[in-house]
Amino acid sequence: MKDSRMFHENISTDCLNLTTTSTGGDAFQKKGHSARILSPEEAERLAKDKVLMTDFKQLKLEKEAQKNWDLFYKRNSTNFFKDRHWTTREFQELKACREFEDQKLTILEAGCGVGNCLFPLLEEDLNIFAYACDFSPRAVEYVKKNSLYSTERCKVFQCDLTKDDLTENIPADSVDVVTLIFVLSAIHPDKMRLVLKNIYKVLKPGKCVLFRDYGLYDHAMLRFKSGSKLGENFYVRQDGTRSYFFTEEFLSQLFKAEGYEQVVNEYVQRETVNRKEGLCVPRVFLQSKFRKPFAKTEVLAD
């Protein structure tokens, strides 16, 4: 199956010929505030791709977003995404946000899919209670059926993060860490703020959202064929699921407008080998951390 997500998820080994920094256990990668620089050919190709999908088709995609993700899980079951064992390694926050070593943390995995991020986290850290939600009913069922699912350690529920109030399932101001991993990119840019507003309600003051998602000029963005463009840095895959590619500035403004404080917000660039195609490809992600302040800052008008 040809899908841009295969490049994001089914990674592969890092190329060794990149000038990089190595951070602890991480393989070679570059972190920082500079966006990836395109080659002249790549820049020309992107500049040529100006035609946007019609409003009618875009509206249909928006209406069918939930259905399209549910069909994605019908087709792929739990086999598409790899488990994300990097979560605790890359987001040291989980350890850092404990005031004492054995402190039990309440987390929310927003847009959990079939639990590729959730279950490794529960396995690696026994002192966690996890809420998890997704708008795909199939994904939620897969999470419930996983042998690692236990109602003592987690509660999964169906929820459209742009519409359904999280406080119906999670007490307000009760969550220590929210993980938002490759989820916001699947949501229309006009509705992303609704997700952040929703999450804000359940996050404890002083606690953070950990974000990781596609960054500008990631290889997946350059692979879209003409006719897939929905807007600036926003594309649709063949299966109707959509993907936004974030700039640091866009994300920063989005969170700050909802009252969050920026703690970290940077590009992670690495070259990975796609084993199947034998290609070394440039990957760009945005890895960030935003905090809900203790005293609510003034939010911009709706």
Ligand X SMILES: C[S@@+](CC[C@H](N)C(=O)[O-])C[C@H]1O[C@@H](n2cnc3c(N)ncnc32)[C@H](O)[C@@H]1O
**Nearer CB in complex with ligand X: 94/139:** 139
Rg (CA), the chain: 19
Q: What is the DSSP letter of 16?
A: S
In the set 20, 29, 106, 162, which binds ligand X (CB under 6 A)?
162
> Binding marks (x or -) toward ligand X, 212..241, rule CB under 6 A?
------------------------------
Residue of 61, 111, 53 whose CA lies nearest to 241 = 61
> Binding marks (x or -) toward ligand X, 141..160, rule CB under 6 A?
------------------xx
CA distances for 21 relative to 31, 257, 268, angstroms? 8, 32, 11
**Nearer CB in complex with ligand X: 84/289:** 84
DSSP 231-283: ETTEEE-TTS-EEE-B-HHHHHHHHHHTT-EEEEEEEEEEEEEETTTTEEEEE
- Please report how close the Cβ of residue 154 comes to ligand X at its closest, in angstroms: 14
In the set 107, 161, 192, 284, which binds ligand X (CB under 6 A)?
161
**Taking CB under 6 A as the rule, does residue 4 contact ligand X?**
no
Residue nearest to ligand X (CB): 113
Site for ligand X in 15-74 (CB under 6 A): 69
Distance CA 269, CA 37 (A): 11
Q: What is the DSSP letter of 18?
A: S
Positions in the binding site for ligand X (CB under 6 A):
69, 81, 84, 111-113, 116-117, 134-136, 139, 159-162, 181-183, 186-187
